[in-house]
Chain A
Amino acid sequence: MGEADAVTARAGDPAAVQVRLIAGLRERTPGACAELYDRFAPGIFRFALTRLGDVGSAEDTVIETMADAVRDVRRFNPQRSSLAPWLFGIARRRVHLEIRRLRRRKSAPESAQVSVESVLDVTDGRDMAASAVDRLDARRKVAELRGLLSDREMAVLVLSCVEELSAREIGQVIGRSERAVHSILHRAKTKARERLLGHERA
């Protein structure tokens, strides 16, 4: 499943699908885990990667988030939130742990950590010349945004603009009110627009 499909599936995430998916996970129905992964893993990966900046760590985060979700699916309360905020909440906690682990491990600044392997990551082994330039440019911009925005602003920005969660759902993920999310989102978008438009002008 590609990213577009995933976004479409998530965007059209009707309550019935969610109920079926949760029931499938609880009953350990064959295919339920795969469906959960296919629906939500790309978004979680994006979310983790924008926060962590490291593909390997983001992939680990996806795996751990999925495992946690399946293990704790009985704790999921549909009255409190829908499935996406719940999963992003788990992912957010995992990302925090990963950030802490990376901080302990890191010895060089992030800007100096673009390795040959990371170039291979971003190019997916195809069209080295075109893809690599675009991807590396995008990653540089994201890294700049990460440096510019606070962790919470970055999370809100990704969840809102990319994952298209509502303010209420984002509030459930980060533990803030809807009004506070709007405020954070406004600040984040302002900062991001200035930086990205500045790049375009340049």
Chain B
Amino acid sequence: MNERDDSLIKDVIQSATPDLRAVVRERALEAMAAPRLLQRGLRFVPNAVGGALVMAALLSTPFLPVEPPGGPQVAMAAEQMLAEADRADLPAAPQTRKESQREELPEPMRWYAAKAPEFVRNHHPNDPQMLIAAGLLTRDVREAESLLKAAIAKGGAGAAWAAYATVLMETGPAYARPANWAADPTDPKSMAEVKEELARSGLPDSLTEAQGAPVLEALKRWEGLEPGNAYPVAMEVHYLYGLHRDQEALERWEQASRMAEADLHAQDYLNGATRLLQALGASGWYAISAAYGGGAPYLPYGRIRDGARIGGYEGRLAVAEGRPDDAVRWWMATIRLGRLMQESGPTLIECLVGIAVEGIGGAPAWLWQPDRMTGIPGGPLLKARLYHGPHHDLFVRQVGPLADQQARDSLVRAKLRSMLARRYAERLGALSGPMLRIMALRTAAAVTGAIVVALLVVFIGVSAFARRKADSATMLSWTGRAALMGAGLVPLGTGLVLLWLMMVWIASSASRASAAAGTATFACMGAALLIWLVAPLIAAFWTRRPDAKLITAWRGNIRRVIPLALVSCAALSLALGLASRRVENVYVRQCLSESEMSRVVRDIGPEWQNPKVPPDSWRAEPPPIAGNR
């Protein structure tokens, strides 16, 4: 090996090479003189757009919660909580806090509750719904009082007094008598157990006049403004009973049951809270969920249930003591009030509590028939008093077996409605219409967002070292890139379609569809990721440069395919997120324009109005009244 060899090689190569033609020089100079900015821009713009899409998808995905919101589920949970409170073995009632402090809200709501008063005063000082919502959200009683006073001045008097009474109830003193804890006065064992529990709880068995006065005053003021509203009168019963003014309580309970309407102004609060939370920056999805859930005032319903328990207890006691007239008055009033709540309430929780109240009064009324009352003073006359007495208007005007049957039918229907509502709330189909679509779209957006993150990790991983070497190791064309990217999009698209089908179609009749949808979606997502990793390896066998290693060409192919996949998934995620926002806005408008109960009744369909009473079962058995003693 010497210089002669070098010279020989050089001569051969130079001899084989002609001079460059002049035309080549002209073409080259022309190409070199092309506008650089345009060239750079053409290269920069796709990168910038792609990067912006990926960033937007990454930033927006965490703000798209996919969990189901409140509404029917929350109402069912609240009703369950209220029903459980009927049981005697529960710990003491929650009114054990300082008078100036209300019960804490769950964490995400605390921030909104803290901001709400000042925000409403500054931005919506003339909006009674907003003022009431802020008053019910804030945990400071003085603040709530101030906001609700402002709401009264701005024209929301009835709703504001209802809210103020709620706040006072929350912070007011508690008491417990055996009737409040659903004891059975005819069962010595039950009475002994409840009395023992009461002694352990440390709650007093009565209220003082001073303790009961503020709430009773607020309820009176509310009643003065709305003389036809059953709620303020019915809620007085709890406090009158605590003051041991039992006869007065019975009269008020009866009076409430004869009112024309029962309006707790729940829809005013729900609309106000939804708008307030949205104005504070919450998404429509969260605003609806939180308005129906986190800060919703459920205590008034508890007070009505408490009245029903008192009615059931006092009725049994009256029968045992030979005062059937009093028993009939308690029970009839309870049944009537329950039905009134079912018919008047704008929310599902009111309807459910109405069903429970009817059951609490109706069960003893039906069970204590004359033929079961042998040995009880006045017993033989009870049925006659039920159907022929001054309260016969409750049932149909006929008496005898037909009236008996209709009384049972009414209770069965109420129970069936309760079961329909429960089934409706438990299945995903309860989120029918926009809500179900929102959930599907958000889940899809979150899934594609997760893929974006995974792809980004892979891309950073393969680019961590010697990326230029990887880039130059492969000759994958644009067609090849598009083909590999499309190969991964196929399972991803299939997964999203499956997700939609399962969550929107199948879920309307099943409660376990979410698990199947999740499995299918994650399987498809995994398949897409696998394709985007494995296909570049297979392609590397053909596209790698002769002098490059397969693994390096694989990395190069991944670096060329994944950016396309990233941008596609990011665009898809953003589009799905935006679509869910659009559907969400429609849903919020719908929620603000109609009551929850009308939506529930519409979704359940005609079966709600005429639930199918089982032809035989109810005839042989007593009405199914679980949970009510």
Q: State A100–B473 Cα separation when bound (angstroms).
A: 13
Total A residues in contact with B, Cβ cutoff 8 Å: 55
Contact flags (1/0) for A43-67 with B, using CB distance below 8 Å?
0011001100001000100111011
Is the pair B24, A151 in contact by a Cβ cutoff of 8 Å? no
> Measured between C-beta atoms, what is the minimum distance from B446 to chain A in Å?
39
**Chain B 1-39 residues near chain A, CB threshold 8 A:** 1, 5-6, 8-10, 12-21, 24-25, 27-29, 31-34, 36, 39
Q: State A158–B545 Cα separation when bound (angstroms).
A: 19
Is the pair B1, A37 in contact by a Cβ cutoff of 8 Å? no
> Measured between C-beta atoms, what is the minimum distance from B62 to chain A in Å?
36
Q: State A28–B546 Cα separation when bound (angstroms).
A: 37
Q: A41-B20, A50-B16, A162-B14 are in contact. Are A67 and B9 (CB under 8 A)?
A: no
Is the pair B9, A124 in contact by a Cβ cutoff of 8 Å? no
Q: A50-B13, A150-B546, A196-B8 are in contact. Are A37 and B29 (CB under 8 A)?
A: yes
Is the pair B36, A152 in contact by a Cβ cutoff of 8 Å? no
Is the pair A93, B12 in contact by a Cβ cutoff of 8 Å? no
Is the pair B472, A158 in contact by a Cβ cutoff of 8 Å? no
Is the pair B33, A162 in contact by a Cβ cutoff of 8 Å? no
Is the pair B13, A161 in contact by a Cβ cutoff of 8 Å? yes
Q: Report if A139 contacts B (CB, 8 A).
A: yes
Is the pair B19, A2 in contact by a Cβ cutoff of 8 Å? yes
Q: Report if A78 contacts B (CB, 8 A).
A: no
Chain B at the A interface: mostly helix, strand, loop or mixed? helix
Looking at A8-16, A107-115, A185-193, the stretch in contact with chain B turns out to be A185-193
Chain A's closest residue to B34 (CB) is A67
Q: A33-B29, A62-B24, A63-B24 are in contact. Are A3 and B19 (CB under 8 A)?
A: yes
Is the pair B469, A175 in contact by a Cβ cutoff of 8 Å? yes
Q: Report if B123 contacts A (CB, 8 A).
A: no
Q: Of A66, A100, A141, A151, which is within 8 A of B12 by CB?
A: A141
Q: Of B13, B21, B475, which is within 8 A of A96 by CB?
A: B475
Is the pair B33, A33 in contact by a Cβ cutoff of 8 Å? yes
Q: State A161–B33 Cα separation when bound (angstroms).
A: 32
Chain A residues with CB under 8 Å of B8's CB are 193, 196-197
Contact flags (1/0) for B547-559 with A, using CB distance below 8 Å?
1000000000000
Q: Report if A135 contacts B (CB, 8 A).
A: yes
Q: Of A28, A42, A186, which is within 8 A of B20 by CB?
A: A42
Chain A at the B interface: mostly helix, strand, loop or mixed? helix
Q: State A63–B23 Cα separation when bound (angstroms).
A: 11
Contact flags (1/0) for A139-172 with B, using CB distance below 8 Å?
1011001000011100001101110000000000
Is the pair B6, A28 in contact by a Cβ cutoff of 8 Å? no
Is the pair B20, A45 in contact by a Cβ cutoff of 8 Å? yes
Q: Report if A71 contacts B (CB, 8 A).
A: yes
Q: A33-B32, A135-B15 are in contact. Are A162 and B9 (CB under 8 A)?
A: yes
Q: Of A135, A175, A197, which is within 8 A of B16 by CB?
A: A135
Chain B residues with CB under 8 Å of A2's CB are 19
Is the pair B32, A70 in contact by a Cβ cutoff of 8 Å? yes
Q: State A141–B14 Cα separation when bound (angstroms).
A: 12
Is the pair A49, B1 in contact by a Cβ cutoff of 8 Å? no
Q: State A174–B473 Cα separation when bound (angstroms).
A: 11
Is the pair B5, A193 in contact by a Cβ cutoff of 8 Å? yes
Chain A's closest residue to B477 (CB) is A100
Is the pair B10, A162 in contact by a Cβ cutoff of 8 Å? yes
Is the pair B28, A162 in contact by a Cβ cutoff of 8 Å? no
> Measured between C-beta atoms, what is the minimum distance from B191 to chain A in Å?
90
Chain A's closest residue to B25 (CB) is A37
Is the pair B19, A175 in contact by a Cβ cutoff of 8 Å? no
- Of B8, B21, B32, most buried by chain A (CB within 10 Å of CB) is B32
Is the pair B17, A49 in contact by a Cβ cutoff of 8 Å? yes
Chain A's closest residue to B16 (CB) is A138
Q: A62-B20, A71-B40 are in contact. Are A46 and B5 (CB under 8 A)?
A: no
> Measured between C-beta atoms, what is the minimum distance from B152 to chain A in Å?
71
Chain B residues with CB under 8 Å of A161's CB are 6, 9-10, 13
Q: State A45–B20 Cα separation when bound (angstroms).
A: 7
Q: State A59–B15 Cα separation when bound (angstroms).
A: 17
Chain B residues with CB under 8 Å of A33's CB are 29, 32-33
Contact flags (1/0) for A62-102 with B, using CB distance below 8 Å?
11101101110000000000000000000001001100100
Q: State A190–B469 Cα separation when bound (angstroms).
A: 28
Chain A residues with CB under 8 Å of B27's CB are 63
Q: A63-B27, A150-B547 are in contact. Are A3 and B14 (CB under 8 A)?
A: yes
Is the pair A66, B9 in contact by a Cβ cutoff of 8 Å? no
Can you offer 26 A-B residue contacts whose CB atoms are under 8 A?
A33-B33, A36-B32, A37-B25, A37-B29, A41-B20, A41-B25, A41-B28, A45-B17, A45-B24, A46-B17, A50-B13, A67-B31, A67-B32, A71-B36, A96-B475, A97-B475, A134-B15, A135-B18, A138-B16, A142-B13, A151-B547, A152-B547, A189-B1, A190-B1, A196-B5, A196-B8
Q: State the 9 A-B residue pairs at the shortest beta-carbon distance, nearest first.
A: A138-B15, A138-B16, A67-B31, A33-B32, A70-B32, A139-B16, A142-B16, A161-B9, A63-B28
